[in-house]
């Protein structure tokens, strides 16, 4: 795969991007905590129904020479597995 930092084609390792723990201090989370605190119900209707059949999967390619990573745009997949070749 092409590495934009090495400016040539190099071998890359593939890894799945995992979701990190959400920060409690971001504006949206602070607003959510403020609205849901105290007396009263949930501020917006809860999602009723099934989950979506596919999940978005992000893939990160890491260069074997310079160790820099390139994250590709997310794609939808029912099943995702990395197979050793």
* pTM as predicted: 0.64
Residue 8 backbone dihedrals phi, psi, to 5 degrees: -160, 170
The 3-state DSSP composition of the chain as helix, strand, coil percent (nearest 5) reads 10, 25, 60
CB-CB contact of 14 with 59 (8 Å) = yes
* Extents of the domains making up the chain: 1-17+55-78
Q: What is the mean pLDDT of each run of 10 residues along the chain (85 residues)?
A: 94 89 94 86 75 87 94 86 80
Sign of CA pseudo-dihedral 45, 51, 53, 56: positive
Q: What is the pLDDT of residue 27?
A: 96
Confidence at residue 84, expressed as pLDDT on a 0 to 100 scale: 78
């Amino acid at each position: 795969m092409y590495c934009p930092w090495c400016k040539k084609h190099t071998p890359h390792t593939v890894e799945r991007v995992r979701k990190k723990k959400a920060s409690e201090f971001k504006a949206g989370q602070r607003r959510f905590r403020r609205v849901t605190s105290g007396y009263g119900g949930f501020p917006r209707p809860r999602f009723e129904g099934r989950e979506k059949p596919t999940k978005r999967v992000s893939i990160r390619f890491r260069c074997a020479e310079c160790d820099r990573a390139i994250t590709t745009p997310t794609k939808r997949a029912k099943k995702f597995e990395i197979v050793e070749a």
